[in-house]
Chain A
Amino acid sequence: MLTVALLAFVIFRFVGDPVELMLNEQASQAQRDELRERLGLNRNIAWQFVTFVGNALRGDFGISYRNQQEVFTLIAERFPATFELVMVATLLSLAVGIPLGVYTAIRRGSLLAKALEFVSVLGVSLPSFALGILFILLFSVTLQWLPAFGRGEIVQVGGWSTGFLTPSGRLALILPGITLSLFQITLVMRLVRAEMLETMRTDFIRFARARGLSDKAVHFRYALRNCLMPVVTVTGLQIGNLIAFALVTETVFQWPGMGLLFVQAVTFVDIPVMAAYLMVVSFIFVALNTVVDLLYAYVDPRLREDAVTGAANAR
């Protein structure tokens, strides 16, 4: 994470000068220099970096240049929006991706399976902003079923703002959720399909069939279970990606999450917000990696056994 912070700081050198955007046309050169001085932008980069890390360790990310709110509060306010969106997208991708993957693997060669595979190529290759705008045109403008932007009415539960509790909040989740998850769905589907095909060829499936188990038991209890390892890995890691890449979907749907905050911070050279955002996202990545590793042991009993024997051997 320290590396991310350092890289981020080096990049910020090239994103521009916030001072010219912060003051208005009437400000004099002296006022401009003074502001630069106060923000510490005229100091060298090492000084800025050390100050930032030092403050960040104390949980102080400073205040935003653009709207002068505490950066930490800004991000904390936005996090629920992004999190709910990403959760919906992840659940959708699993709920839709796994059955489709199993189906296309089992009924390989059937017309429907071929059609699904074709559509999945589209899903992988269609950029999400184009997809989002197409959805908006169809469902908001033409059919007028779903809102084109925003989160609808939200309810504040403690420090968490949720859109799940109101009808308009739930409606507002649909389009961005699908837009964000489409790539995920196709990814999970193709992954499950490839793994299933691989597993179906292995000996133990043949033995299972030889034991006279039903198709259903073979496919779901034996084959699918063996495919889930990579699915868990990929889904877990993709949550990080979804959070990071939700910014495109969030911009299209004016979804008030962290991504939208970051995009606006970039156009404004709002360095405190950009720095904090990158730190938070890199933290999420690190955390997810750890969680995924732990989940392995849960999903795959072999790993647990290995760990136990490994520990025993070491002793």
Chain B
Amino acid sequence: MKVPAANVEKAARTNWLAMGAAALMLSGFGVTTAMAQQGKTVKWGAAREIASLDPYSFGETFTLSVLNHVYEGLVRYTGELKIEPALAESWETVSPTVWRFKLRPGVKFHNGNPLTADDVLASLARVTHETSPLKGNLPAYKSSRKIDDLTLEIEVNGPYPLLLNDLTNIYILDKEWMEANNASLPTDSGKGIKGFATDNANGTGPFVVESRRTDSRTVFVANPSWWDKPRHNIARIEFLPITSAATRVAALLSGEIDFTNVAPLQDLQRLSASPEVKVLQTNELRTVIFAMNLKDKLFESDVTDKNPLKDIRVREALYRAIDVDSVQRRAMRGLSRSTGAIVAPAIPGYTAAQEPRLPFDLDGAKKLLADAGYPNGFSFNFNCQSDGLVNEEEFCQAVAAMWARAGLRPNLSLGPRSTQTPKRVKGEFDVISFGWANEPMIDAYSILVQVLRSRSGSGGVFNWGNWGRPDIDALIDKAGVELDNAKRIPLMSEALMIAKREHLFIPMHNQPMAWAMRSTVANTVQASDNKPRFWLTQMR
């Protein structure tokens, strides 16, 4: 079932005409529509729909990564996950808390308006507004001011080394466009008012939104006046969400889509077997660990007077009882990368010393349990999600069985993310499976301050099991204000090493990720942040 691009184009335009008002709003983009008829089209079958076209409406990595084709930040990540200038041409720190950015001259929004410092200030005001769901993405922001049309300063709360990392995800909107459409404030689910930017977009990025029908198709066309030299030859992206994995695979095999960023692991062999399809498989940044309840009592156990998990010997026993190779082979279908570290190698803070795992040693595990005073084991609650991590259900079941062999009695509680998360947040668990990608900042500071840090102020939001330690906290706080990476990164590595020595967590693996594409896609960049980048993609 292939429809020639020109036909689709015509049909799409008829639609727009019929929709009158919608056509009006897009009339500024007529040039790009004409251009779309010449170049290549890529049909992108995604596993789900993006939440909105508004980059500040929903702090979800996938939505932001799709919108990055339309909107851009002051800085961006390269295909190798290094930070490079984007809308800002250069920057300097005027004082430890003030950063000065020089904007790239000649950048135009899709509606033709030039990019100025006012646009950046308006965007920063919108994203840090109290009702903005993305407020947390810019935690250190204090204020900003304009120096001249192309220069601005951002002031942060205190010395903060990760401002650039945070800014990669703060996309810049056009001030006049927001004001003209009453969209200067973010949408607020509480008030129940929808926003103009939810269905309309006006960015500076390599692609322009041509049409959007949620759950069916969103069309992006190349931006002919993009400031950067295009390294892609794509004229048109059709974004097609297909929720059902089997249907997505079928659509790829039949040629109805060219690319998917979520190829189901169980179908990789079948996909690779097709001569028309190529599978790109690697490991993503997300590291999967087991985190343990280290409060005074277990949540659900036959040991009621104390918490056995607070004994390092018990934690080591749990660790040694896991046959990670068999988990990797069976539950993860040989595709995960087993690790002894709690952050991926690409994350600053990782060192090779964190990599070795404790060996699988069932007798040793039993002996450790006996030494700790639990020769007959104990029961505990084991909370996993059915729709969270890759093959989470499978690896949790496998590990539960392995712990049972060591004499422990894990009660596996499996459920969808929406029902398991509240229990996790309230600390109603003894062991959980847990995945952390350190996105969007791509720095170990993310897991350190959010997960490892004891709860205080804005730190330790994910410290659900009271596993904080003063020595680690001190290192995190020091790293949080150290601007010199040469000093900052070793501080983080040291904190991670303490966590490793104390077996605060049981590391498992880096998740596999798989993309699949037909031969129509010549090449693309698959970075371990699992974000498709069509501005770096070539079609045949």
- Cβ-closest chain A residue relative to B462: A25
Contacts of A147 in B (CB 8 A): 1, 256
Contacts of B195 in A (CB 8 A): 68
The 8 A CB mask of A67-82 against B (1 = contact, 0 = none) is 1111000100110000
Q: Please determine whether B1 and A168 come into contact, CB atoms closer than 8 angstroms.
A: yes
- How many residues from A make CB contacts under 8 Å with B? 71
- Indicate whether A137 reaches chain B with its CB closer than 8 angstroms: yes
- Indicate whether A128 reaches chain B with its CB closer than 8 angstroms: no
- Cβ-closest chain A residue relative to B450: A25
Contacts of B213 in A (CB 8 A): 256
The 8 A CB mask of B76-106 against A (1 = contact, 0 = none) is 0000000000000000000000000000000
- Indicate whether A103 reaches chain B with its CB closer than 8 angstroms: no
- The interface stretch among B332-340, B394-402, B413-421 is B413-421
- Nearest CB of chain A from residue B417's CB, rounded to whole Å: 7
Q: Please determine whether B418 and A70 come into contact, CB atoms closer than 8 angstroms.
A: no
- How many residues from B make CB contacts under 8 Å with A? 75
Cβ-defined partner of B244 (8 Å) among A15, A25, A146, A251: A251
Q: Please determine whether B192 and A62 come into contact, CB atoms closer than 8 angstroms.
A: yes
- Indicate whether A313 reaches chain B with its CB closer than 8 angstroms: no
Contacts of A154 in B (CB 8 A): 15
- Indicate whether A216 reaches chain B with its CB closer than 8 angstroms: no
Q: Which of B443-466 contact A (CB under 8 A)?
A: 446, 450, 455, 457-458, 461-462
- A148/B256 contact (C-beta < 8 A), A62-B192, A133-B247, A153-B11 known: yes
Contacts of B416 in A (CB 8 A): 16, 267
- A156/B139 contact (C-beta < 8 A), A16-B422, A251-B244 known: no
Cβ-defined partner of B199 (8 Å) among A69, A149, A267: A69
Contacts of B455 in A (CB 8 A): 29
Contacts of A28 in B (CB 8 A): 136, 139, 457-458, 461
Q: Which of B189-236 contact A (CB under 8 A)?
A: 189-195, 198-199, 213-217
- Cβ-closest chain B residue relative to A266: B418
Q: Please determine whether A63 and B194 come into contact, CB atoms closer than 8 angstroms.
A: yes
- Cβ-closest chain A residue relative to B187: A68
Contacts of B188 in A (CB 8 A): 38
Q: Please determine whether A67 and B133 come into contact, CB atoms closer than 8 angstroms.
A: no
- Indicate whether A155 reaches chain B with its CB closer than 8 angstroms: yes
Tell me the bound Cα distance from A14 to B418 in angstroms: 9
Tell me the bound Cα distance from A61 to B83 in angstroms: 43
The 8 A CB mask of B238-269 against A (1 = contact, 0 = none) is 00111110111011011110000000000000
- A148/B59 contact (C-beta < 8 A), A28-B458, A35-B190 known: no
Contacts of A18 in B (CB 8 A): 418
Q: Please determine whether A69 and B198 come into contact, CB atoms closer than 8 angstroms.
A: yes
The 8 A CB mask of B110-137 against A (1 = contact, 0 = none) is 0000000000000000000011011111
Contacts of B130 in A (CB 8 A): 34
Tell me the bound Cα distance from A149 to B238 in angstroms: 14
Tell me the bound Cα distance from A146 to B254 in angstroms: 10
- Indicate whether B19 reaches chain A with its CB closer than 8 angstroms: yes
- Cβ-closest chain B residue relative to A260: B215
Q: Please determine whether A140 and B240 come into contact, CB atoms closer than 8 angstroms.
A: no
Tell me the bound Cα distance from A27 to B449 in angstroms: 12
Contacts of B214 in A (CB 8 A): 67, 69, 74, 77, 256
Cβ-defined partner of A254 (8 Å) among B247, B255, B418: B247
Contacts of A153 in B (CB 8 A): 3, 8, 11
Cβ-defined partner of A27 (8 Å) among B59, B253, B387, B436: B59
Q: Please determine whether A65 and B251 come into contact, CB atoms closer than 8 angstroms.
A: no
Cβ-defined partner of A149 (8 Å) among B61, B251, B421, B458: B251
- Indicate whether B156 reaches chain A with its CB closer than 8 angstroms: no
- Indicate whether B58 reaches chain A with its CB closer than 8 angstroms: yes
Q: Please determine whether B1 and A146 come into contact, CB atoms closer than 8 angstroms.
A: yes
Tell me the bound Cα distance from A155 to B216 in angstroms: 14
Q: Please determine whether A140 and B58 come into contact, CB atoms closer than 8 angstroms.
A: no
Cβ-defined partner of A63 (8 Å) among B18, B61, B193: B193
Q: Which of A255-304 contact B (CB under 8 A)?
A: 256, 260-261, 263-264, 266-269, 272
Q: Please determine whether B243 and A141 come into contact, CB atoms closer than 8 angstroms.
A: no
Contacts of A254 in B (CB 8 A): 215-216, 240-244, 247
Q: Please determine whether A16 and B190 come into contact, CB atoms closer than 8 angstroms.
A: no
- Nearest CB of chain B from residue A193's CB, rounded to whole Å: 34
- Nearest CB of chain A from residue B192's CB, rounded to whole Å: 4
Contacts of A29 in B (CB 8 A): 455, 458, 461
Q: Please determine whether A24 and B136 come into contact, CB atoms closer than 8 angstroms.
A: yes
The 8 A CB mask of B136-180 against A (1 = contact, 0 = none) is 110100000000000000000000000000000000000000000
Q: Please determine whether B418 and A268 come into contact, CB atoms closer than 8 angstroms.
A: yes
Q: Please determine whether A17 and B422 come into contact, CB atoms closer than 8 angstroms.
A: yes
- Nearest CB of chain A from residue B189's CB, rounded to whole Å: 5
- Indicate whether B57 reaches chain A with its CB closer than 8 angstroms: yes
- A63/B189 contact (C-beta < 8 A), A17-B422, A69-B199, A151-B216 known: yes
- Indicate whether B284 reaches chain A with its CB closer than 8 angstroms: no
- Cβ-closest chain B residue relative to A78: B215
Tell me the bound Cα distance from A31 to B188 in angstroms: 13
- Indicate whether A99 reaches chain B with its CB closer than 8 angstroms: no
Which 8 A-B pairs rank lowest in CB-CB distance, beginning with the nearest? A24-B59, A38-B190, A16-B418, A27-B136, A26-B136, A256-B215, A28-B458, A62-B192
Question: Residues of B at under 8 Å CB distance from A?
Answer: 1, 3, 8, 11, 14-15, 18-19, 48-49, 51-52, 54, 57-61, 130-131, 133-137, 139, 187-195, 198-199, 213-217, 240-244, 246-248, 250-251, 253-256, 387, 416-422, 425, 436, 439-440, 446, 450, 455, 457-458, 461-462
Q: Could you list 14 further interchain pairs (A-B, Cβ under 8 angstroms) beyond the known A35-B189, A256-B215?
A: A20-B425, A24-B61, A34-B130, A63-B187, A65-B189, A68-B52, A68-B57, A133-B244, A145-B1, A146-B1, A147-B1, A148-B256, A150-B240, A156-B18
Question: Residues of A at under 8 Å CB distance from B?
Answer: 14-18, 20-32, 34-35, 38-40, 60, 62-70, 74, 77-78, 133, 136-137, 140-141, 144-151, 153-157, 166, 168, 171, 251-254, 256, 260-261, 263-264, 266-269, 272
Can you list 5 pairs linking A and B with CB atoms under 8 Å apart? Answer: A16-B421, A22-B133, A30-B458, A63-B187, A263-B243
